[in-house]
Structure 1
Amino acid sequence: MAPPPPSRVSHPPHPPHSPAPTHNPQGHPAAYAIGTPTSTSRRTDRSVTLGHVACTGLLLDRTLLIPRSRVVPSTGESSMARLEPQDLSFAESAPFRADASITCPTSASAVFDVLKDHRRWVDWVGVGVTSVEPTSASEEGVGSTRTVTFLRVAKVEERFIAWEEPTLWAFTGTSFRPGILSKLVDRFQIEPLDEDNCRITYRMGADFPPLLRPFARIIIGQFARAANTALKRIRNEAVRRESQESG
């Protein structure tokens, strides 16, 4: 709808049945990548949204787990936690990643038109999105900005770092409330398969404040489930719009 370098903070010991992450040659923990849940997941019968993640983070933020140095004033009732802006390469190098992919029976342009229609996200995207507002003079292109609100309490401010119609659309987070993230990049790649079909591939790259890293895999898993839901809604909206135009 929905703007995540490797960590140098050591991770806590892993339970006996949970394999510890491997390390790269520089000694940094390897990235955790979570994709589409398997059919054996015990949570496939539950709808997990970004709003649930945000509300969980809000509770953690209120217990002062987020360093106050990362919080900057906002015009709202609560404060925004500043994120460290990233370039597009962070989608590949992020220590924590969530992936989702889906085929769509429309052109790539139809999907891109849905993605860039900021204000209409609230009509179809779900995952707790209640407001999407462009905040820059130009609403399109690299450098443009917007603010996305979840369940009226969680909020992320985003700046676009890639805008190549109709195949690439990506942004980095610049601030987040609650402060559950320290870095964020969301990337959408739309690959034309033929004139009438395409594939949408989503990648979220993220990092977390040190005290939240023990919970990172749980949070990333919820983001991945929400991404799968969002991609289905993007596909449905692209199909609906293209059908209207052809009819």
Structure 2
Amino acid sequence: MPRTRSTGGPTDESIFTSAPVTYREVFDIARPAAEVWAELVSDAPLAWCRELSLDWTSPRPFGVGTTRQAKVLGALKVQERFFIWEEGRRQAFEVTSANVPVFRRLAEDFVVEPDGADRCTLTWSVGLEPTTLGRAGGPVNALLFRRLFAQTRRHFPA
């Protein structure tokens, strides 16, 4: 598979507020935080998102430096590396390479916060620096993330 390396330099959490393109969705979930976290780190994370296929490429236990492969819409293949890992609460990854040069940098952040014994909040944030090709696909990206967020809302009812 030809690879396009991320060219934007090291990624940190500032990308979630400073990137040219950002998406953020907050989900109020009627399930304990531990259950939601368990789904995010399962052998099939985000399985409810039909456009995604994710496979861990690092052994457990997961932490900073953990890697994963993702396939988006069956065509875009990316390698991910987690740069934030707070077990049971937060995980954030950056894309380190992709088979299509649609972004300079892309990162996603998932924060799970308890809101009582049987409720929690999940915040999913995305920061994206598109390439020229990626800017042309901006409407497709916006539609994709709207769909992923809608599928997550259906999977985790309030």
TM-score range, shorter chain: 0.7 to 0.9
CA contact (8 A) 1:200 1:231 kept: no
Distance 1:188 1:196 in 2: 19
Secondary structure of the corresponding residue to residue 110 of structure 2:
strand
Q: Quote the offset at 1:148 in angstroms.
A: 1.1
Identical pairs, percent = 27
Within-5 A mapping of 1:2-13 = none
Q: Quote the offset at 1:196 in angstroms.
A: 0.8
- Partner deviation per Cα, 1:177-201 (whole Å, 9 max, x = no partner): 3221110110111121111101111
Structure having the higher helix fraction is 1
Residue 96 of structure 2 is aligned to residue 174 of structure 1: yes
Q: What's the counterpart of residue 149 of structure 2? A: 228
Q: Quote the offset at 1:227 in angstroms.
A: 2.9
Could you list the runs of 5+ residues in structure 1 that have no partner in the other structure? 1-75, 240-247
Distance 1:199 1:211 in 2: 34
Within-5 A mapping of 1:92-107 = 92-107=17-32
Distance 2:66 2:131 in 1: 26
Distance 1:108 1:185 in 2: 22
Change (3 A) 1:153 1:219: closer
Residue 42 of structure 2 is aligned to residue 121 of structure 1: no
- Partner deviation per Cα, 1:63-113 (whole Å, 9 max, x = no partner): xxxxxxxxxxxxx3xx12212441122112111101212111111111111
Secondary structure of the corresponding residue to residue 125 of structure 1:
coil
Within-5 A mapping of 1:9-88 = 76=1, 79-83=2-6, 84=8, 85-88=10-13
What amino acid maps onto 1:140 in structure 2?
F
Distance 2:35 2:23 in 1: 24
CA contact (8 A) 1:143 1:161 kept: yes
The total of aligned residue pairs comes to 156
Q: Between Structure 1 and Structure 2, whose CA radius of gyration is higher?
A: 1
Distance 1:220 1:152 in 2: 15
Distance 2:71 2:30 in 1: 29
What amino acid maps onto 2:24 in structure 1?
D
Secondary structure of the corresponding residue to residue 182 of structure 1:
strand
What amino acid maps onto 2:67 in structure 1?
T
What amino acid maps onto 2:72 in structure 1?
F
Distance 2:115 2:56 in 1: 31
Distance 1:115 1:152 in 2: 20
Q: Quote the offset at 1:226 in angstroms.
A: 2.5
Change (3 A) 1:179 1:89: same
Give the TM-score, by structure 2 length.
Answer: 0.85
Distance 1:111 1:129 in 2: 18
Distance 1:152 1:223 in 2: 13
Q: What's the counterpart of residue 26 of structure 1? A: none
Q: Quote the offset at 1:233 in angstroms.
A: 5.3
What amino acid maps onto 2:63 in structure 1?
G
Give the TM-score, by structure 1 length.
Answer: 0.57
- Partner deviation per Cα, 1:17-56 (whole Å, 9 max, x = no partner): xxxxxxxxxxxxxxxxxxxxxxxxxxxxxxxxxxxxxxxx
Could you list the runs of 5+ residues in structure 2 that have no partner in the other structure? none
Q: Quote the offset at 1:138 in angstroms.
A: 4.3
